[in-house]
Structure 1
Amino acid sequence: MELPYEIEIMLTRPGMCLTEVSYDSAVAYLMGANAICHGGILHGFREWLIPKVNGRNSNMWSELVLALDFPDSESPRTNLEQLSDHKPVISFLHQILKKFWDERNQKGLRIIFLNYEKWLRKQDWYDPTSPKWFDWE
């Protein structure tokens, strides 16, 4: 199943849809589209990303994507701000979103959330006193 047409167009041809071709404009577009769809487009995206970056549990999905795109950086946001052309980062966002979308459609959200839960349980700060702890064993 493909990404919704409007999102596919924006991510592949951002100049057609965005007044400013920037990563933050692309993120704002996606967040708006997600809000219109009552959260259905990006549901599980953040939880899918966190195990991939192995951390940054308190970050928004947009910052997690930057962490994946600039894996060796202490401050991925600073790396983004130093770029004069954000098209490669928008293209990376497109690739990551497609991978998530494909996995979510093939395996389902349950697997994504179970993988996130497994990641959480490996963290030394996560224990039965943590909020939303669920004893499923």
Structure 2
Amino acid sequence: MRIEDYRELFAALRKRPLVYLPRADFADVVAFVEGCDHGNARSLLTGFREWLVTRAGCGDNLVWWSLVLRLTEPEGPKSPRDIDPGTDARAVETLLRCLDDLLTLRQEQDGLHRIYAAHQAWLDSRARGGCLAGGAAACPAVNWPRPRVTSAE
């Protein structure tokens, strides 16, 4: 499957999750996405964790789904087992929105390069100024790469 096919699949999952999953909770959606990634020799989510780190501003030691939870609820639980139903639904929406943004960016000619360049800028910023986890006043922030907007011609 091509990236655009996965964007369509994830859009369909967003509209009718129970067609694809036994439950529409965050853990099942994560498992589905992981399965799609494994079915693509672990290349579908290339750059996803790094992209999420630049968005979250911290968490370079976390797995991608934990970063999605951090983006959903920065001060909340970091395990899918510990989230309430409202947060769970928001986490599913955050994940599917992030996947669409990532895959849109990945379709651009230099998209993956821009993801890794933003992550390296984040790493450089953290090395200079530290992070909350290390006692700094804040986590570093960088302008994370968004898909380019082109005008219709």
TM-score range, shorter chain: 0.7 to 0.9
Flag structure 1 segments of 5+ consecutive residues without an equivalent: 127-137
**How far 1:7 sits from its partner (Å)?**
3.1
How many residue pairs match? The answer is: 125
1:45 corresponds to 2:48: yes
**Aligned counterparts, 1:67-82, within 5 A:** 67-71=70-74, 73-77=75-79, 81-82=83-84
What TM-score, normalized to structure 1? 0.78
Flag structure 2 segments of 5+ consecutive residues without an equivalent: 130-153
1:110–1:69 CA distance, 2 compared to 1 (3 A): same
Query: Cα RMSD over matched residues?
Result: 2.6
For 1:117 and 1:29, the matched residues in 2 are separated by: 29
Contact 1:48 1:112 in 2 (8 A): yes
**How far 1:79 sits from its partner (Å)?**
9.6
**Aligned counterparts, 1:1-137, within 5 A:** 2-4=4-6, 5-71=8-74, 73-77=75-79, 81-83=83-85, 86-106=88-108, 107-124=110-127
User: Greater CA deviation, 81-90 or 49-58?
Assistant: 81-90
For 2:87 and 2:50, the matched residues in 1 are separated by: 28
The amino acid of 1:46's aligned partner reads R
1:3–1:60 CA distance, 2 compared to 1 (3 A): farther
Contact 1:44 1:109 in 2 (8 A): yes
What TM-score, normalized to structure 2? 0.70
The amino acid of 1:2's aligned partner reads E
1:29–1:119 CA distance, 2 compared to 1 (3 A): same
Percentage of matched positions with identical amino acids: 22
Contact 1:45 1:100 in 2 (8 A): yes
Contact 1:49 1:61 in 2 (8 A): yes
Regions of 4+ moved over 6 Å: none
Contact 1:21 1:86 in 2 (8 A): no
